[in-house]
Structure 1
Amino acid sequence: MAYRNGNYSAFYVSEPFTEGGLGAHATKDFVSYSMLRAWKGGDSAFPFNDSHNKNYNVRDGSDWEKTLKPRIRERLSKSKNIVLFLSSVTKSSKAIREEIDYGINTLGLPVIVVYPEYKEKSDIINCQSKTIKKQIKDLWDKLPKFRDSMDSVPTLHIPNKKALIKKALENEGFMVNTKKEADEYFYPC
């Protein structure tokens, strides 16, 4: 079994993916992923180990079945969890469906869901009833594969805040070998 120490980031970028111009760099979900990389670049102790750096890069012209899908699966197999960026612009692309389906349903990877448009815990949970807000649950409908699979792994729902993302990345309950029971989790207000 491969050493599984990576954090696999799943995010929407429009297809076909292009690196030219602004391309993915202008997509909200990709910008959030880039921020994780920047935090790691600025602080080597930041607990993000990017699974996308674990094998060869892929290009837009790459064949889906021969190149893209196998590389996604290889990266996921070396990961301890998935960091999913879910926002109002997220769409259910072929790549994100594969990442979620293989990561959750085949490998059993826990998912840390980061909501880029929300900055506070109270933005995603009702602090009085201690439940996830409807506006957040509505975002799950953007990714039916995630919505329909999330009950088989622990999922942690957090706003886009560095301190909470750091805490989540260090939380052993959301790592494949030490994961909690399958359920929806969040950090209380």
Structure 2
Amino acid sequence: MAYRNGNYAAFYVSEPFNESNLGASATKDFVSYNLLKAWKSNDSTFPFIDSHNKNYNVRDGSDWEKTLKPRLHDRLNNSKNIILFLSSITKNSKALREEINYGIGTLGLPVIVVYPEYSDKSDIINCSSKTFKQQIKNLWDKLPAFRDSMNSVPTLHIPNKKELIRKALNNKDFMINSKCTADQYFYSC
């Protein structure tokens, strides 16, 4: 069995993937992923272990079935959870569908959903009714594979705030070997 200590970051980039300044690096969801890496490089106590560093990088034009898909699976197999960046620019790409279907459907990985466009808990939930805001539910519709499978694993929905992401990454309820009951969770206001 794989040693599952990584955090698998799932984010939208236009296809075909091209990690240049004008390609993926300019995409909001990819910028959010890079922010996690920057926090880790500036603070060794930040609990992000990048599963994307666990095997060879893939390049634009790589074969989907022979190279890309097996590497995604390998990275997910070595992960304790998925960090999904979900924003207004997120699209239902082949890669995201595969990451969600394999990560949730096959492996049962818990998901920490980070909303890059929101910075407060009250942006995610209605603090008085303790329910998700409609603007958040609308984002789920951008990824039907996630929307339709998120109730089969624990999912934690948080704004893009470093200390809340740190708290979520340290939360054992959202790790594969100690996950809590499948449901939708958030941090109360």
- The answer, yes or no, to whether TM exceeds 0.5 is yes
TM-score of the aligned structures, taking structure 2 as reference length: 0.99
**Paired amino acid for 2:148:** D
- The whole-number CA distance in structure 1 between the counterparts of 2:151 and 2:71 is 26
1:53-132 equivalent positions in 2, closer than 5 A: 53-132=53-132
Q: CA deviation at 1:134?
A: 0.8
**Paired amino acid for 2:70:** P
Aligned to 2:151, the other structure's residue is in SS state helix
* Runs of 4+ more than 6 Å apart: none
- The whole-number CA distance in structure 2 between the counterparts of 1:117 and 1:148 is 23
Paired residues, number: 189
- The whole-number CA distance in structure 1 between the counterparts of 2:20 and 2:26 is 11
Q: Percent identity?
A: 78
**Paired amino acid for 1:55:** N
Q: Report Cα offsets for 1:81-104 as digits up to 9, x if no partner.
A: 000000000001000000000000
**Paired amino acid for 2:133:** K
Q: CA deviation at 1:173?
A: 0.1
Q: Report Cα offsets for 1:102-158 as digits up to 9, x if no partner.
A: 000000000000000000000010000011111101100000000001010000000
Backbone CA RMSD of aligned residues: 0.5
Aligned to 1:139, the other structure's residue is in SS state helix
Q: CA deviation at 1:20?
A: 3.1
In the alignment, what sits opposite 2:42?
42
- The whole-number CA distance in structure 2 between the counterparts of 1:185 and 1:138 is 17
In the alignment, what sits opposite 2:138?
138
**Paired amino acid for 2:121:** K
**Paired amino acid for 2:102:** Y
**Paired amino acid for 2:176:** V
Aligned to 2:80, the other structure's residue is in SS state strand
**Paired amino acid for 1:73:** H
Gaps of 5+ in 1: none
In the alignment, what sits opposite 2:20?
20
Q: CA deviation at 1:19?
A: 2.2
TM-score of the aligned structures, taking structure 1 as reference length: 0.99
In the alignment, what sits opposite 2:4?
4
- The whole-number CA distance in structure 2 between the counterparts of 1:116 and 1:20 is 21
- The whole-number CA distance in structure 1 between the counterparts of 2:19 and 2:172 is 34
In the alignment, what sits opposite 2:177?
177
In the alignment, what sits opposite 1:147?
147
- The whole-number CA distance in structure 2 between the counterparts of 1:123 and 1:150 is 20
- The whole-number CA distance in structure 2 between the counterparts of 1:41 and 1:84 is 20
- The whole-number CA distance in structure 2 between the counterparts of 1:34 and 1:18 is 15
**Paired amino acid for 2:103:** G
**Paired amino acid for 2:62:** S
